[in-house]
Structure 1
Amino acid sequence: MSSQHKRVGRYDLVTPMLPVKDELVAKFEQMLLSGNFILGEEGRLLEAELADACGVPAAVGVSSGSSALQVALAMAGVRAGDEVITTPYTFDATMESIIRLDAVPVFVDIRPADLTMDPAKIVDAITDRTRAIMPVPIFGAPCEMNAINAIAAEHGLEVIVDMAQAFGTIYDGRPMGAWGRMSTLSFYPTKNLPGIGDGGMVFCRETVDAERIRKIRTHQAVRIGDHLITGWNSRLDEVQAMVIRARHARFADEQRDRDAVAGIYDSHIPAANRLQPARTERGCKVTYHQYWVRCGARRAELQRLLDEAGVDTAVYYDPPLHRHELAVYGRAHGELVEAERAGREVLILPIHAALPFEDAHRIGRIVGEFLGSEAAAES
């Protein structure tokens, strides 16, 4: 690593907190003296603000993104033995939330352009046990929700969107949080809209779902038809709500900086090696929770090159979920060729609101030159 360059980390969790530090310290002192630590005013305000941002009538704060997924599936009627169609190219929590309900995750392949669930693979995976479809706008790229929702409507299925990585993502002019019967969010500290611990939220198009979730999260059982759903401890505390509200007030500014970094990368990296997001008449927006490049068989070589240049990178979802030990409780529908190829070839670059643009240009040039030389060698 050159002595003139500081090491570039994949995240900076401190710098974005500096503009809100004094505000949060003052609020925290007030909270300590108020005695209102859980399910208080900060949480209620956060729910209202984020419901409005996502264009839904109600949102309910819970203890984590994983808890949000599980309670949303339960509210949607997923029971033991039911099947939920989802993507294998995502974090373990997507699969685990299905398995915890004694339901069966059914994995379908992804699209190479944006790494999201391929709607063309869904219909053949539907059986008489299928209850829901769970798309994941991975890394902040919108899923093809028009096609997914049309399939769900035709077959009488629920749609639950796991948007843990996609707050602010837009598909066809609407926020991702408005596309499913319910959508779920994670506030883990590395997310685009973070807390300083665990936290999650369920966005509801039907207020009855929100009312039931508010009971479930405080140990109250809920009866839906002839099925009794036990409650559990899944409350969002006031500290997290306070921090998330402060970060949400600055979300647009942080996202603008994130977009600028992505634009710099795009200017250096060949289009064939990066995200090609969905496009619709009313417009789509990517929020770049992560920025990925496809490296072919030379991923390890590029990763070493960047490490030597003082740049941290990561590999995600290699292998994809259908190759994990827990996948014994689910099944793969067909050959998941694109998911496995993404697992082998995709490399994650640093992207965050505090990343200096000069570093983004330097990283982009390194990656662009490497991938350009690879393309030349193959031609």
Structure 2
Amino acid sequence: MEEPATPRRTPHRAAGLVAAFGVLLLVSAASVAFGAKSLSASEVWHGLFDYAGTDADVVVRDLRLPRTMLGLLVGASLGLAGAVMQALTRNALAEPGLLGVNAGSAAAVVSGISFFGVTSTTGLVWFAFAGAAVVSVVVYSLGGARSATPVRLVLAGTAMTAALFGYINAVVLLDTAALDRMRFWTVGSLASANGDVIRQVLPFLAVGMVIALTLARPLNAIALGDDTARALGAHLTRTRVLAAIAVTLLCGAATAACGPIVFVGLMVPHIVRALTGPDMRWILPYAMVLSPVLLLGSDVIGRLVTRPSELQVGIVTSLIGGPVFIYLVRRRRMAKL
């Protein structure tokens, strides 16, 4: 499965990664510059580098900049989680949103808010971790465990997602006190970003990212099949446990920060695989860079198309990802990887 790093191929991949990082910088700049309130380039510059407390400065420094930083972290986390899940399960349709992981985190977070009165992001993260872990095990079991097929896993994940969001909607409707807090969060939004939220989830996301990136080589071996991986010296149990920990950390913290956002972890790894080939040593860093491009780009679109209001980023990614998912399901060869 792993391609040899030829002298010709490696520079092309490295140059592509540099170009992807350049695109990320441009999209990040657009996220700071554009929004529901129109600002001139001088106002944006003033807010970033000469803060004086004006209304424009507050919009740029206190609202848009934290929102962009959270989008970078969450986008990278979801892209890495999706790439790891696809490699680990050898399932081209694996994605935290499609397999119910994000819905499990969301249901647990809503329970923490409504029934236990948890309000801090740090407290909600632990509920999100528990929900992600439990739902991952349930979906894997419903999908047939070791005999699971990509479509069966997606069907199990879709059923769990529907049931969990039914539960979430019931809780939101019955608990009017928590309604405003959860109304935008349950569809996935970066609007509540601030420095405190970023500081609280950053340690969990950083640990998850480091674990995911260190799994590139063993995931390459697993892609060749369990027997071949063992022959190559890969520790299958350790790799699967670490991958599960990484996905739980990444999805749980991301969901606690901004709600369930789907399809980012599905679309980007497929795009990256077409650019780099199947080598996880390149797929993971590419996904880490390009996933925030998709998430921040979707957030900017959501802020611009409905000015002066905004469309939540979770809705925009769903509108983009739905057709992509249908296309991938109809391509039998890709669905059976």
TM-score by length of 1: 0.26
Greater helix proportion:
2
Greater strand proportion:
1
Say which structure, 1 or 2, has more relative contact order (CA 8 Å, 6+ apart): 2
TM-score by length of 2: 0.28
Structure number with greater Rg is 1
